Structure 1
């Protein structure tokens, strides 16, 4: 596994790509770096702006490569950075006896050739890997006055944002009062136009995240039966009232800022000394992909902590433009891996980042979780709502049960050993092959009205329900 910096310099499409690659050579950017010397392969996962890392593989023999990022430059900055690490810090790569499935898929599709050594492109602008490495070092040292001016400008922008968001919440309060005054029936029928108008106003007033949430209310109402919509509308509006009230009492709270205006960057979360960190074995329960009205697609990947004595969950959340098409995911339902997750600060931490990935974990059954004497799956939901009533999707680990269908075709999860016979409705169509099957445990999301099934354990092993 040998790489020459001059070769990397020749392979780079331009100087900008080299400079961008130099910023990705830090080990903290790569939760996973592995090699297989027999196959002459190196591969890794580079954390981008989203929750799902980009997967990169390079053939060290013929310099073939593949990256899952959407870059139009070849090789991209992630590929160049992986080669750069191999050239300057080969010990960073852990030896692997076999390559992962996604690497094998690439090997099976590519037609291996033996190209001539990389040569600079005739007429191309000069490229220098030394210049790229010096990019960070060459920044001018700011004087004290410049630093003070910049910090003062940051404080002013933060104060301007707080004032704008405060005004936005005042307008939201008036809007909610108007909806209640005009009647829930009218709100349910006209929710699409009404929510779109107030969402546009909130975007103008810098309450961007809250605007996106309101814009999705109509789609959540549309998924329900007619008789359920008024109660659901009350829940949605009530959560907005509580969120606005909480922000006013603590406008600098990281969780509330994330839900109302803007989120922290990955770097800020990783650098936060108070952020919760959990190193454990994790299983990918399932994923939830939703197209939003603002032109983005939200991609949620739900994880289960396999070492915890009680059900503990995490979610990797990513957003990308719908125009970019379906993005390849770093994880597939059923995958298991050893990793350290860093959670976004929250009253009930769920959203997380993969800070470091150590390797794969053997498959098997879930732990035998203790559900408590009452075995009430909604007790978890109640505890989440007590701590953070603005949460929409609450992860649950359901006790032994089965899936049934009523006369109207609605699917239900039914507890099998609960004397009260608790039953919860299921969102969407139900796979007919699951009906009546004994499920030892089921992981699902509960939004207060419907279950969104993720995965289950049965006598036949793991079942993917997402």
Structure 2
């Protein structure tokens, strides 16, 4: 049974529980960690404030869990941490016979109908106790209807909380504009942190993370551009809030506001787009988030047919240390990707990596196929709330203005565009046959460039 970090985040009752779980997802906190032979049950003992460690167990079939701690939250931080350990393979889970306390929990769950159908008792002494609770429950239409109604109520309650949080967000945006953007930029970290906390309480965790990272995006801009950047950021928040209100069940909008679909849900969706193509790894970006997690983003360029770009996103705790990358910038391979539903599909899961392209010369990048103006504006018109989108640029060069700021200058036609950060080395002044970059609406961040002398990576 598999579980990923997105599923763990979805199970958390609030951001505080998730942050506490991140602090506990460390090998030194745990002992007696194990997993059943069918990989359905996991357990372990987590050191707490008392003399005896807490006994923690979970069933990966339905994500049920139990902990001996006194917390009133369900799941508690210890259960979330145990699931985190499994999702991120932070420690090895030895296959073993579950201890007595796990079997007792199973027996109680079976007696109350909490164990998923097909679960087998895995401790001999508790197998009889589980069986004595009676046969497998027979399907009951009334019970199924009640469960369906309860699930619908939970969904409605979640949407209500999100909509209330979005109301608070729009009021907050109005307050920032009324008080003045100058004061907002000067106090951006504290102000964003307060509204991000409100969004977390309102089940809008993804949007809260976006708001929490806003200060970092603004403070890297030159001082004279920060108020304009703040206005763009606030406008994006309003557009996203109003888009969500118009269609709360839209998967792309829910992903931007609440959380992404579980991996299992996407894999089970027959309508999800699957693309097998030749891909080139453009670049990888590692970023430590304010919540203590690290996001690892891999940008791919489609060299054959299908969506032009793909983004692979992995999230793991900073305490786990830096991960070895599965990709090398510049490598080309054949692989199957499964794209998340979107107006312009971009985020994807790597389903199968068939083979690396090692024989013969590398495949050339495709032609842009449209003007730079169209390439820059079309994604933002489709998703105006997006912070950045990849773009393939035509031939050009990188030069500098009188202040020493770098600009991308096309060979013909389009206007020059400012670049984010510093550019140095071979990229400066060299003819760029093609360039792949991220466009934020105001600046380009180069990912990789092709020159007459070969490929150049950036950053």
What TM-score, normalized by structure 2, do the two folds share? 0.71
1:129 corresponds in structure 2 to none
Whether 1:345 aligns to 2:356 is no
Whether 1:190 aligns to 2:187 is yes
Shift of residue 142 of structure 1?
Answer: 5.6
Whether 1:320 aligns to 2:316 is yes
Q: How does 1:350-365 map to 2 (within 5 A)?
A: 350-362=346-358, 364-365=361-362
Which whole-Å CA distance do the structure 2 matches of 1:256 and 1:14 have between them? 38
CA contact (8 A) 1:366 1:457 kept: no
Residue 243 of structure 1 aligns to a residue whose secondary structure is helix
Shift of residue 438 of structure 1?
Answer: 1.3
Whether 1:18 aligns to 2:29 is no
1:218 corresponds in structure 2 to 215
1:95 corresponds in structure 2 to none
How has the CA–CA distance of structure 1 residues 401 and 164 changed in structure 2, closer, same or farther, with 3 Å as cutoff?
A: same
CA contact (8 A) 2:303 2:366 kept: no
Shift of residue 405 of structure 1?
Answer: 2.8
Which of 283, 286, 294 matches 1:286? Answer: 283
How has the CA–CA distance of structure 1 residues 260 and 69 changed in structure 2, closer, same or farther, with 3 Å as cutoff?
A: closer
Shift of residue 464 of structure 1?
Answer: 1.7
Higher mean C-alpha displacement, 149-158 vs 189-198? 149-158
How has the CA–CA distance of structure 1 residues 433 and 463 changed in structure 2, closer, same or farther, with 3 Å as cutoff?
A: closer
Deviation per CA, 1:119-150: give whole Å up to 9, x if none: x99xx99xxxxxxxxx9843645632443333
Q: How does 1:38-49 map to 2 (within 5 A)?
A: none
1:453 corresponds in structure 2 to 446
Which whole-Å CA distance do the structure 2 matches of 1:233 and 1:337 have between them? 40
Shift of residue 383 of structure 1?
Answer: 0.6
2:153 corresponds in structure 1 to 156
2:385 corresponds in structure 1 to 390
Q: How does 1:375-454 map to 2 (within 5 A)?
A: 376-416=371-411, 418-420=412-414, 422-454=415-447
CA contact (8 A) 2:339 2:345 kept: yes
Residue 439 of structure 1 aligns to a residue whose secondary structure is coil
Shift of residue 406 of structure 1?
Answer: 3.0
Which whole-Å CA distance do the structure 2 matches of 1:275 and 1:149 have between them? 30
Higher mean C-alpha displacement, 449-458 vs 158-167? 449-458
Shift of residue 431 of structure 1?
Answer: 2.3
Which whole-Å CA distance do the structure 2 matches of 1:443 and 1:314 have between them? 12
CA contact (8 A) 1:413 1:423 kept: yes
How has the CA–CA distance of structure 1 residues 72 and 307 changed in structure 2, closer, same or farther, with 3 Å as cutoff?
A: same
Unaligned runs of 5+ in 1: 1-12, 24-66, 81-119, 126-134
CA contact (8 A) 1:341 1:356 kept: yes
2:266 corresponds in structure 1 to 269
Residue 238 of structure 2 aligns to a residue whose secondary structure is helix
Which whole-Å CA distance do the structure 2 matches of 1:141 and 1:264 have between them? 30
1:138 corresponds in structure 2 to 119
CA contact (8 A) 2:400 2:407 kept: yes
Q: How many residues align?
A: 358
2:8 corresponds in structure 1 to none
1:253 corresponds in structure 2 to 250
How has the CA–CA distance of structure 1 residues 22 and 306 changed in structure 2, closer, same or farther, with 3 Å as cutoff?
A: farther
How has the CA–CA distance of structure 1 residues 182 and 68 changed in structure 2, closer, same or farther, with 3 Å as cutoff?
A: closer
Which whole-Å CA distance do the structure 2 matches of 1:18 and 1:407 have between them? 67
2:327 corresponds in structure 1 to 331
CA contact (8 A) 1:444 1:451 kept: yes
Shift of residue 163 of structure 1?
Answer: 0.6
2:305 corresponds in structure 1 to 308
Which whole-Å CA distance do the structure 2 matches of 1:236 and 1:287 have between them? 24
Shift of residue 371 of structure 1?
Answer: 3.4
Shift of residue 69 of structure 1?
Answer: 5.7
CA contact (8 A) 1:406 1:412 kept: yes
Which whole-Å CA distance do the structure 2 matches of 1:186 and 1:68 have between them? 42
Looking at both structures, which has the greater relative contact order when contacts are Cα pairs under 8 Å and sequence separation is at least 6? 1
Higher mean C-alpha displacement, 201-210 vs 325-334? 325-334
What TM-score, normalized by structure 1, do the two folds share? 0.70
Deviation per CA, 1:411-442: give whole Å up to 9, x if none: 222212x145x222222221233221111111
Q: How does 1:1-150 map to 2 (within 5 A)?
A: 16=35, 18-20=37-39, 70-73=89-92, 76=93, 137-138=118-119, 140-141=136-137, 143-144=139-140, 145-150=142-147
RMSD across aligned positions (CA):
3.2
Unaligned runs of 5+ in 2: 1-31, 43-85, 101-115, 121-135
CA contact (8 A) 2:303 2:365 kept: no
